[in-house]
Copies of this chain bind each other. A is one copy, B any other.
């Protein structure tokens, strides 16, 4: 089941406020999804993810298939039970990961043969296999198995990828049979508007309850991504959620929301945290820097997360310098809280008709010091 409702549209941009109801609960959009690659949002318990404001998380089909295996997770009662997260889960199709394996994979019309990055063993993903795995995992939203064009990419290559993505999307829809799980199609087309339009029309013919926008944030300049979005989102049906895959820096989120995107995921906040960097209302802060050694202020004086309420920059810097795990737990909590609060404030600004003003103020302050 999936029930999407647009509650309010911004008058001065394409930004929109919505609610999305899944088999494991509802959340408001625009939303940021923390990434839980290996059946855990790195360093965090599910309760901690929820307490930062996370309401839907992402799981990675490729990783879970290889380890511990989707059959094991099915035997555990599905991914929700296995990892003790009882809210909504979206799984990717594994397509992006296996395409990223480069020389380790071969693509045919049937699917993709690839070697495991863990032990070199050979495996095969097809649209049917990607659906089988995601049905075993039991995510609330499954993604169709697509062919993601790289950047740069010729018109011909991007065109072939769009056509194959359409054929594979039809096969995904055909074999999918789990009622409590919805499948999103994925729009490809690289940076070519005509191909984006064709991909949209093809997938609308198949008819999905939501659409991913793929093949962006893969190396192209940000302005080019924004212009592709500018062209793409108005052509997607207004009553279906739109998910910009793999995007999650605050500036990109603002630009995409203002063009009508509803859902985001990105490893950036959690990966940055493990490298000892945090988002603050005044930009990025690298906590390892010597200047914070005796700084007893919180990471962000405008933040009320667990880390900022209880610990100083000096303490968190000490933990990270000493390789103590609590250090990256605290930076992860802070960054996920930052993202959830950012999305909350974006939704509130849309509700109050002040989205563009909020965007301008936030970005000016955020980029002033960086």
- Contact between A76 and B40, CB atoms less than 8 A apart: no
| CB of A204 closer than 8 Å to a CB of B | no
CB-contact partner of A293 in B40, B68, B314, under 8 A? B68
| CB of A361 closer than 8 Å to a CB of B | no
- Contact between A315 and B76, CB atoms less than 8 A apart: yes
Report B-chain residues with C-beta under 8 Å of the C-beta of A329. 43, 45, 325
Minimum distance in angstroms from A278 CB to a CB of chain B: 17
- Contact between A72 and B321, CB atoms less than 8 A apart: no
Report B-chain residues with C-beta under 8 Å of the C-beta of A40. 319, 324, 326
| CB of A12 closer than 8 Å to a CB of B | no
CB-contact partner of A67 in B67, B321, B328, under 8 A? B321
CA distance A366 to B105 in the complex (A): 50
- Contact between A325 and B325, CB atoms less than 8 A apart: yes
- Contact between A83 and B38, CB atoms less than 8 A apart: no
CA distance A39 to B311 in the complex (A): 12
When C-beta atoms are compared, the residue in chain B nearest to A322 turns out to be B38
- Contact between B322 and A72, CB atoms less than 8 A apart: no
- Contact between B38 and A324, CB atoms less than 8 A apart: yes
Minimum distance in angstroms from A74 CB to a CB of chain B: 11
CB-contact partner of A68 in B38, B84, B314, B325, under 8 A? B314
**Residues 15-72 of A at the B interface (beta carbon under 8 Å):** 38-40, 42-45, 67-68, 72
Copies in the complex: 2
CB-contact partner of A72 in B43, B68, B294, under 8 A? B294
Report B-chain residues with C-beta under 8 Å of the C-beta of A315. 39, 76, 82-84
| CB of A312 closer than 8 Å to a CB of B | yes
Report B-chain residues with C-beta under 8 Å of the C-beta of A293. 68, 72
- Contact between A314 and B38, CB atoms less than 8 A apart: no
CB-contact partner of A314 in B72, B319, B322, B324, under 8 A? B72
Interface string of A243-256 (1 = CB under 8 A from B): 00000000000000
CA distance A299 to B22 in the complex (A): 32
- Contact between B83 and A322, CB atoms less than 8 A apart: no
**Interface magnitude class on chain A:** 20 to 34
Minimum distance in angstroms from A68 CB to a CB of chain B: 4
Minimum distance in angstroms from A241 CB to a CB of chain B: 29
Report B-chain residues with C-beta under 8 Å of the C-beta of A317. 68
- Contact between B325 and A84, CB atoms less than 8 A apart: no
CA distance A328 to B325 in the complex (A): 10
Report B-chain residues with C-beta under 8 Å of the C-beta of A121. none
| CB of A75 closer than 8 Å to a CB of B | yes
| CB of A155 closer than 8 Å to a CB of B | no
Report B-chain residues with C-beta under 8 Å of the C-beta of A319. 38-40
When C-beta atoms are compared, the residue in chain B nearest to A44 turns out to be B326
CA distance A181 to B38 in the complex (A): 46
When C-beta atoms are compared, the residue in chain B nearest to A332 turns out to be B325
When C-beta atoms are compared, the residue in chain B nearest to A83 turns out to be B315
Minimum distance in angstroms from A231 CB to a CB of chain B: 40
| CB of A171 closer than 8 Å to a CB of B | no
When C-beta atoms are compared, the residue in chain B nearest to A325 turns out to be B43
- Contact between A324 and B294, CB atoms less than 8 A apart: no
Minimum distance in angstroms from A138 CB to a CB of chain B: 15
Report B-chain residues with C-beta under 8 Å of the C-beta of A367. none
**Residues 193-222 of A at the B interface (beta carbon under 8 Å):** none
Report B-chain residues with C-beta under 8 Å of the C-beta of A83. 315
19 contacts between A and B (CB under 8 A): A38-B319, A39-B315, A39-B319, A40-B319, A40-B326, A42-B326, A43-B325, A44-B326, A45-B329, A67-B318, A68-B293, A68-B318, A68-B321, A75-B294, A76-B312, A82-B314, A82-B315, A84-B315, A325-B328
